[in-house]
Amino acid sequence: MPEPASNTPHPHSATLRRLEKSSGKLAANAIARMDEQLPWYRAMPPENRSWIGLVAQAGIAAFTEWFRHPEAPQAISTDVFGTAPRELTRAITLRQTVEMVRTTIEVMESAIDDVAAPGDESVLREALLVYAREIAFATAQVYAQAAEARGAWDARLESLVVNAVLSGEADEGALSRAAALGWNSPSMCAWCWAPPRTGTAS
């Protein structure tokens, strides 16, 4: 059963309330700055930009929850990146994700004086610094897991393509799998074998 909520008031409850109220505006400002500063973001399809916006919102919400319970273990990678489909790691490179996270953190940092209650500025700034380090590790973990999953899937695709070629069944499905592996112009090799002739020459 879940533990009952603690009745102990948060030591920085005023800042926490202001952070909760500001989360939507912070997310909108982060997305606006990405659109202004990141050319690759402007060039992305609307669907991908929408997913990136959700990730930014989730990142700010995760920071709010982390600030509320800094001592509680939290799966930041799940909280933040779980809102986006796994395919997003193929559409957005690790470098681009780092830029996205850095832009969001910069927006949050620039708003500290407005969000923090008087006297809590240094507390909120230090909390954001620690959170930024945690989200950096979470980003690396997400891409490492995606690369590992892609490696296993690519190995299976390679096996299917090779088996199709060797069995003489290289149909459209095999060509599609080869294209998914990046084999857009595959060189097909075939081995021909025949048993040695029996008998003697006349």
Q: What is the average pLDDT across 31-40? A: 96
- pLDDT over 90 (residue 97): no
CA torsion 180-183-184-188 (nearest 10°) is: -130
pLDDT in tens, 150-192: 565 555 555 665 666 555 565 666 566 566 555 554 444 444 4
Q: Indicate the helix (H) or strand (E) that contains 13.
A: helix 13-37
Question: What is the residue-averaged pLDDT of the chain?
Answer: 77
Q: What is the average pLDDT across 53-75? A: 84
CA 165 to chain centre: 35
- pLDDT over 70 (residue 61): yes
Q: Indicate the helix (H) or strand (E) that contains 124.
A: helix 121-166
Q: What's residue 192's pLDDT?
A: 40
Q: Which residue ranges make up each domain of the chain?
A: 13-147
